[in-house]
């Protein structure tokens, strides 16, 4: 959908989104990431992108694909829901264009990705990033590394309680 409409629906308007994105922009800048939120004109349906990531994973190119998608969307403002744009992005990640076009034109992995999306929504996850730890704990939103320690500790304690002790 149109980006401005999306921002109005999700954040109550572009001004509130600008406040939130400014924080992300500043953190990104401190890490050498030049977010270009103003270049994003559409908020895409990312089902095709997720399918493409899964295809790239099967070829050992998932990290390259994730980085290419990130760059294309957040730095270049590309529509990562558009099959033609995704084909170009996939080539950057080392995938073959013809194979990508065939894949995106099919329904391969679509149901799997949609099932994962339904599962996430049932858990109440409505945004990214969201980190699921040990299938039980969720941490939503951009977080400092320190925020993970308590969740890792809880998951570790759960594992200790579930493991039989030597007698």
- How far is 65 from 52, CA to CA, in rounded Å? 8
Most confident listed range (72-86, 114-128, 138-152):
72-86
Q: Please give the C-alpha separations between residue 56 and each of 45, 52, 70, 81, 85, in angstroms, as whole numbers.
A: 19, 6, 14, 16, 16
Q: What superfamily would CATH give domain 44-122?
A: Glutaredoxin (3.40.30.10)
Helix (H) / strand (E) containing 113: helix 110-122
**Is residue 138 pLDDT above 50, yes or no?**
yes
pLDDT score, position 72: 98
Q: What is the mean pLDDT of residues 48-59?
A: 97
**Is residue 166 pLDDT above 50, yes or no?**
no
Q: What is the mean pLDDT of residues 49-60?
A: 97
pLDDT score, position 12: 87
Q: What is the mean pLDDT of residues 141-150?
A: 83
Q: What is the pTM of this model?
A: 0.80
Beta strands, E only, 5-82: none
pLDDT score, position 167: 44
The ranges assigned to domains in the chain are 1-43, 44-122, 125-162
């Amino acid at each position: 959908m149109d980006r401005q409409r999306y921002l109005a629906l999700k954040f109550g308007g572009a001004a509130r989104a600008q406040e939130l994105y400014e924080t992300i922009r500043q953190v990104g800048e401190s890490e050498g990431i030049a977010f270009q939120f103003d270049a994003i004109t559409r908020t895409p349906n990312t089902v095709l992108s997720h399918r493409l990531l899964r295809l790239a994973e099967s070829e050992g190119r998932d990290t390259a694909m994730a980085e290419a998608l990130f760059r294309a969307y957040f730095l270049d403002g590309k529509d990562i829901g558009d099959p033609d744009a995704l084909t170009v992005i996939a080539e950057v990640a080392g995938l073959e264009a013809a194979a990508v076009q065939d894949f995106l034109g099919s329904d391969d992995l679509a149901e799997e990705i949609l099932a994962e999306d339904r599962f996430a929504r049932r858990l109440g996850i409505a945004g990214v990033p969201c980190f699921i730890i040990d299938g039980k704990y969720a941490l939503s939103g951009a977080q400092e590394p320190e925020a993970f320690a308590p969740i890792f500790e809880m998951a570790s304690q759960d594992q200790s309680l579930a493991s039989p002790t030597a007698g």
